[in-house]
Amino acid sequence: MNKKITAAITGVGAYLPDYILDNDELSQMVDTTDEWIMTRIGIKTRHILKDPTKASSYMGSMAVNELLEKTGTNPKDIDLVICATVTPDMIFPSTGNMIAYQAGCSNAFAFDMSAACSGFLFALATGSKYIETGACKKVVVVGAEKMSSIVDYNDRATCPIFGDGAGAVLLEPNEEGLGVIDHLLHSDGSGEKHLHMKAGGSLNPASYETVANNWHTITQEGQAVFKAAVAHMADVSVSMMERHNLSADDIRYLVPHQANLRIIDATAKRMGLERDKCMINIEKYGNTTSATLPLCLWDYESRLKKGDNLILAAFGGGFTWGSVYLKWAYDGGNFLK
Ligand code: UT7
């Protein structure tokens, strides 16, 4: 009898631009303090891509380069590149297309997925289907964001939150039951009013008016998003545990989207997990939107062991939210940084 094929993560790569924007520098730009940002959000620093000639595809391709090098993979063997992003280089062609080209994945087809901060989860679930069906043997899933290109650095309510960066994973077939086991994904378009970027699309193409009205940057009603994020991220993570009869003891790590330390704590609490079972790097990188989850895996890779149970969870603009249950497929210590 043929064994069931699952999609295992067989490596992680990442890229963070050099420039570090800390809370002291932000306090000189807007009326805020390190104390407010640390208490209300939990961020100390974020990386910013300063070079105006480079964008998300550059960071994404750098992450893919590292991933392919680490795993000893020939770029020509990649079948598919999926890029999750809300900051594509351009409306078209897709940033995934540009990443595949820049990383030398010349035999891959590529496309973007837009699900805001849940983008990586949606892309991971999609990529895993191409592996499970046998349609692809090697799939790269990338989250790449130049958030600094859509942040209003005069708005103290949003500018401390976001950072730039990229992370990428390689998916390959597994017959030992390791990899992506299940996913629960949700969308609710009624959340659009609370978190969006108004212009630059077909509704409000760029014009003098859109620029004058500052519609090319993020608009967020923080509290409405906060409440929805806490409720949905916790609910969907607990649902995943119930679907698979997982207790808190069974879970090695919660891998949560890094939007606000208070949202992470609330989710972990509902799951019955202590802080030491949460991957947390928000203090260093801020919210890199679709790059937060692979950046967590990258930072914690050396601590992961084959067979570890991970619950990935995210919530973002749309609204979109979801969780993925995966069994880690290799001893991360082999890739000690
Ligand atoms: O990843 C995508 C999904 N996004 C999220 O998950 C974000 C969810 N929301 C949040 O994380 C929080 O709502 C924020 C971090 C955005 C804001 O925190 P908050 O505790 O909800 O603050 P608030 O918006 O209720 O504002 C409280 C006060 C206000 O002053 P008044 O009206 O009480 O005088 C704000 O003007 O804090 C003020 N404030 C600030 N003060 C100092 C807002 N931003 C700042 C700031 N520094 N940077």
Task: Please confirm, yes or no, whether 196 is among the known catalytic residues.
Answer: no
User: What is the Cα Rg of the chain in Å?
Assistant: 19
Average pLDDT over residues 1-15: 92
- Express each pLDDT in 160-184 by its tens digit: 999 999 999 999 999 999 999 999 9
Complete DSSP assignment for 153-179? TT-TTTTTTB--EEEEEEEEEESSS-E
Task: Please confirm, yes or no, whether 257 is among the known catalytic residues.
Answer: yes
Average pLDDT of the chain is: 97
- Express each pLDDT in 291-327 by its tens digit: 999 999 999 999 999 999 999 999 999 999 999 999 9
Task: Please confirm, yes or no, whether 287 is among the known catalytic residues.
Answer: yes
Where does ligand 1 bind, in terms of residues with CB under 6 Å? 32, 36-37, 40-41, 117, 156-157, 160, 222-223, 225-226, 229, 259-260, 263, 287, 316
Strands of 232-283, DSSP E: 253-256
> Active site residue: 257, 260, 278, 296, which one?
257
> Active site residue: 65, 97, 260, 287, which one?
287
Q: Give the strand pairing for 253-256 and 309-316.
A: parallel
Question: CA–CA distance from 297 to each of 8, 56, 98, 149, 248 (Å)?
Answer: 13, 19, 24, 25, 19
Measured between alpha carbons, how far is 324 from 255 in angstroms, rounded to an integer?
Answer: 9
Which of 226, 263, 287, 319 has most ligand 1 atoms within 8 Å of CB, for mutation?
226
Q: Which domains does the chain have, with CATH numbers?
A: 6-177 (3.40.47.10), 181-334 (3.40.47.10)
Measured between alpha carbons, how far is 21 from 177 in angstroms, rounded to an integer?
Answer: 42
For the cut 60, the answer to whether the pLDDT of residue 337 exceeds it is no
pLDDT, residue 11, reads 97
Q: For atom 39 of ligand 1, which residue has the closest CA?
A: 157
Which atom of ligand 1 lies nearest, measured to the CA of 30? 48
- Express each pLDDT in 111-153 by its tens digit: 999 999 999 999 999 999 999 999 999 999 999 999 999 999 9
Burial class (CB in 10 A: 0-12, 13-18, 19+), 334: exposed
Assess contact for 254 and 313: CB atoms under 8 A: yes
How far, in Å, from the CA of 9 to the mean position of ligand 1?
A: 36
Q: For atom 48 of ligand 1, which residue has the closest CA?
A: 156
Which atom of ligand 1 lies nearest, measured to the CA of 157? 44
Assess contact for 333 and 301: CB atoms under 8 A: no
